[in-house]
Amino acid sequence: MLESMRAQFLKNTQSFVSAADGIISPGTSAFEVESLTAWKKWQSERGKEFYIVGPLLPIDSETNASGMLAKENEKASSDKGQEIEAFLEKALQERGEHSLFYISFGSTWWPNSEQLWGFVEVLIEQQVPFIFACASPRAVVPEEIVQKVQESGIGLFSKWAPQQFILAHKATGWFLSHCGQNSVVEALAEGVPMIAWPIYADQAESAALISVTLNVAYQLTEARTGDTGLKVLKRGVKPTGTVDALQREAREIIDKSRGSDGKLKRKNAEDIKKKMKLAWEEHGEAVTELRRFLNKEFP
C-alpha cells in the first residue's frame, strides 16, 4: 500500500512540476547545494525558473522577537509545555549543556517498537536525559516502559512536543529522528547534530547525507528492517536488525557523542547553522532569490 501511494505521489509531483512556470524551493544551499544546483540547472534547460528561499524558520530566536514568539506559541500548544521547559532546565542544571536527547519520528511515522524500546532502555542505563515526542497515531507506549521511565526520572513522554523550542534549548545535545526534511532543517538551524533512524521514502537518503557526507549525525544502521533494509550497505556495513545489535550500536553512539567525535559533529552542525543564517542577511541566498522572484515579470 505504501509503495502504491508513493508511486502515485511521485506521478502527481511530476505532473505539477511539468505544468508549473517555475519552482519556489524552501531549501538552502547551506547543506543541500548539490541537489538544488541540479534542480536549478534542469529547470533552466527547460526554460523555467527555480528560486531558493530557505530556510523558512527563525534562526537565533533569542535575538529575534518573532522567533521568540513562535517558540512560546509552540510551547503553549504542547500537552506538556511547562513540564518540558522545567525538564530541560533540570537537565541543564544537573547534567550540563548538550546533555539531553530529543526523540521524535514526526506525526506519521513510527519505527519497530521492539528496537525502539530497546533503545530507550539504553538511554535509562546510560543515564541520558531525553524527551520523547509520540505524535504518530501508531505510537503506543507500553505501560511497563512508562513505568521504567517514570522510576528512572531520566525521561519524559509528550504527545505533541514544541520541537523548535526544545532544539533551541542549551540542554539539548542530540536529535534522534526519522530524518524527515523538516526535522533535518530545524535541527541544523539550531546547530544540533542528529542520530538518524530512517524509516521510509526519502529518509534513508537524508540520513546518508547528514551522517556520511556532512558528518553532522550518527546513523543507527541496526535499526534497519526488512529484506531491503538488511542488505549490505555501500560502505560495507551488514545490519542484522536485532534488538541486541541495536543496543550495542546505541551504546557505541552515546559513547562517541560524549567525546571528540561528537564535538566534531556538533561543530559541523553549528557551521551549517551559520550558513543558514547568512541566507537571510543582505545579499544572502534567500534574500537575493526572493527579490529575483518578486522582480520577475511572468507572461
How does DSSP assign 202-238, residue by residue? Answer: THHHHHHIIIIIS--EEE-GGG--HHHHTSPPTTS--
Residue 257 near residue 263 (C-beta atoms within 8 A): no
The larger pLDDT score, comparing residue 208 to residue 73, is at 208
Residue 52 near residue 288 (C-beta atoms within 8 A): no
Average pLDDT, the chain: 92
Q: Is 220 left (phi over 0), alpha (psi -120 to 50) or beta?
A: beta
Using CA atoms, how far apart are residues 152 and 128, in angstroms rounded to an integer?
A: 10
62 has pLDDT over 80:
no
For residue range 254-267, what is the model confidence (pLDDT) as tens digits? 999 999 999 999 99
Residue type, 61: S
Can you give the pLDDT at residue 232? Answer: 80
In this structure, what C-alpha cell is assigned to residue 182? 523538516
Indicate yes or no: pTM above 0.85.
yes
| Gap between the terminal Cα atoms of the chain | 41
Q: What 3-state DSSP class applies to 32?
A: helix
What number of residues does the chain have?
A: 299
Would you place residue 65 in the very low, low, confident or very high pLDDT band (cuts 50, 70, 90)? Answer: low
Query: CA-CA distances (angstroms) from residue 232 to 109, 199, 202, 238, 292?
Result: 24, 17, 19, 4, 45
Using CA atoms, how far apart are residues 202 and 179, in angstroms rounded to an integer?
A: 8
2 has pLDDT over 70:
no
Can you give the pLDDT at residue 61? Answer: 60
For residue range 222-256, what is the model confidence (pLDDT) as tens digits? 998 887 777 887 677 788 889 999 999 999 999 99
Can you give the pLDDT at residue 83? Answer: 95
For residue range 206-226, what is the model confidence (pLDDT) as tens digits? 999 999 999 999 999 999 888
Within 13 Å of residue 102, how many CA atoms lie on the same side as its CB?
30
Can you give the pLDDT at residue 70? Answer: 72
In this structure, what C-alpha cell is assigned to residue 180? 524527515
Can you give the pLDDT at residue 228? Answer: 78
- Which of these, 220, 228, 186, 181, lies nearest to 203 by C-alpha position? 181
**Cα 38 to chain centroid, rounded:** 23
For residue range 150-168, what is the model confidence (pLDDT) as tens digits? 999 999 999 999 999 999 9
In this structure, what C-alpha cell is assigned to residue 170? 542549551
- Which of these, 164, 208, 195, 200, lies nearest to 257 by C-alpha position? 195
Q: Where are the beta strands (DSSP E) in 94-149?
A: 100-104, 130-133
Q: Which CATH superfamily groups domain 61-276?
A: Glycogen Phosphorylase B; (3.40.50.2000)
Provide CATH 3.40.50.2000 ranges for the chain: 61-276
Can you give the pLDDT at residue 11? Answer: 82
Query: Which residues make Cβ contacts (< 8 Å) with residue 226, sequence separation at least 6?
Result: none
For residue range 125-151, what is the model confidence (pLDDT) as tens digits? 999 999 999 999 999 999 999 999 999
Query: Which residues make Cβ contacts (< 8 Å) with residue 88, sequence separation at least 6?
Result: 100, 131, 166, 169, 171, 172
Tell me: cis bond preceding 55? Omega within 30 of 0 counts. Answer: yes
pLDDT > 70 in the chain, percent: 95
Would you place residue 1 in the very low, low, confident or very high pLDDT band (cuts 50, 70, 90)? Answer: low
Between 102-106, 171-175, 202-206, the lowest mean confidence (pLDDT) is in 202-206
Using CA atoms, how far apart are residues 254 and 252, in angstroms rounded to an integer?
A: 6
Can you give the pLDDT at residue 296? Answer: 86
Residue 196 near residue 210 (C-beta atoms within 8 A): yes
299 has pLDDT over 80:
no
